[in-house]
Amino acid sequence: MPVVVNLDIMLAKRKMRSKELAELVGITEANVSLLKSGHVKGVRFETLARICAALNCQPGDLLEYRPDGDDGTAAGGAA
Amino acid sequence: MSSNHTLAFERRCRRLGVFAAVVAGSILVLDPVMWFLPGLAADTARGWGGLSDDQTITLTAGVLWTSFALSLLCLVIPARGLLVVRGLCNRLAAGKVFEPETGLLLRRFGVTLLIYACVSPFFASAIGFLVTVHNPPGSRILTFALTGEEALNAVIGLLILLMGSILAEAARLAEENRQIV
C-alpha cells in the first residue's frame, strides 16, 4: 500500500513510548504497534486527531504517500 | 456474559452437536433396516414411491437393492447437512460465534436443505417407477409429486442460506472494523 505511517519516527522525536501514547490516545498498545508497523486497514480521524494532539504534530508528519509503495511500513489509509 | 452462562451455552451447543451427529448416523443406519427387515420392504418402497397400500409393486432382488441404493443416496444429503450442523455447534461451543466461517457453515446447511428439497421428488419418482416396472403392462407407475413439505424445506433452506450469508458478511465487516484503529 502506498500510504506509509511514520509513527515510530514521531515517537522517537518526541521521546515517547508506545505505551504512553496508547494511554493518551485511548487505544491499546497492540493497536499502536499495528499502526507503527502499518498492519491496519485504516485510521479513524478521531484517533488521528488524538495522536496529533499527543505528539504535537500534523497528520502529514505521521502519514506519507509514496506512489510506488516500496516501503514495508504501509497502511490502508485514513477512515 | 458470566462464565456460568458461557459454560451452560457451551454444554448445550456440544449436546446439540452430538444429537445432530446421532440423528445423521441413525438416518443412514435405519434406511437399510427398513429395506431389508422382513415385512418392511414393501411398506418402505410404497412410502418412498408415494404409492398407496393397494398399489401392486414387484420387489425383485435387483429392484430392492437399486431402490435401497437410491434411497440411501438421497438420505446422504440431509445426513451431510446434519454433520454440518454438528460442526456449527462445535464452533459455537468454542466461542466462535461471530466469525465468517460460522456464517459459511450456516450457508452450507441452507444449501444442503435446498438441494434436498429439490432432488428428493426425483428420487421418489425413480423409486416409485422401479418398484412397479416389473408389473404387468398397464399397472406401471411414474409419478412426480411436489408437496408442501418440499416447498417448506426449500423456503427454510433459502432463509438459512440468506442468514448465513448475512452473518458471514457481518463478521467480515466486523473483522475489517477491528483493523481500523
| ipTM of this complex | 0.73
The C-alpha atoms of residue B107 and residue A39 are separated, in whole angstroms, by: 30
Strand partners, A4: A64, A74
Which CA distances in Å does B172 have to B90, B98, B101, B177, B178? 20, 9, 9, 9, 10
The C-alpha atoms of residue B88 and residue A3 are separated, in whole angstroms, by: 39
> Considering only CB atoms, which chain B residues are within 8 Å of A1?
none
Instruction: Write down the pLDDT at residue A41.
Output: 87
Q: Is the pTM of this model over 0.80?
A: no
Instruction: Write down the pLDDT at residue A2.
Output: 86
Over residues B91-115, the mean pLDDT reads: 93
> Considering only CB atoms, which chain B residues are within 8 Å of A42?
179-181
DSSP H or E segment with residue A65: strand A63-65
> Considering only CB atoms, which chain B residues are within 8 Å of A51?
none
pLDDT tens-place string over residues A21-58: 999 999 999 999 999 988 888 999 999 999 999 999 99
Residue A70 has pLDDT above 60, yes or no: no
Residue B64 has pLDDT above 70, yes or no: yes
Tell me whether B179 touches chain A (CB under 8 Å): yes
Residue A71 has pLDDT above 70, yes or no: no
More confident residue, B173 or B3: B173
CB contact under 8 A, B181 and A76: no
**Does residue B17 contact residue B109 with C-beta atoms inside 8 Å?**
no
3-state SS, residue B177: helix
| Interface residues on A facing B, Cβ-Cβ cutoff 8 A | 27, 31, 34-35, 39-44, 47, 76, 79
pLDDT tens-place string over residues B35-54: 999 889 999 999 999 888 88
Over residues B129-153, the mean pLDDT reads: 89
3-state SS, residue A5: strand
> Considering only CB atoms, which chain B residues are within 8 Å of A76?
179-180
Tell me whether B61 touches chain A (CB under 8 Å): no
**Does residue B180 contact residue A44 with C-beta atoms inside 8 Å?**
yes
Over residues A7-21, the mean pLDDT reads: 94
CB contact under 8 A, B181 and A43: yes
Give A42→chain B minimum CA distance, Å.
5
pLDDT tier for residue B76 given thresholds of 50, 70 and 90: very high
Tell me whether B181 touches chain A (CB under 8 Å): yes
Give the chain B residue whose CA is nearest to the CA of A79.
B180
Write phi, then psi, for A41 (nearest 5 degrees): -85, -25
Above pLDDT 90, what percent of chain B? 73
Instruction: Write down the pLDDT at residue B131.
Output: 93
CB contact under 8 A, B181 and A35: yes
> Considering only CB atoms, which chain A residues are within 8 Å of B180?
40-44, 76, 79
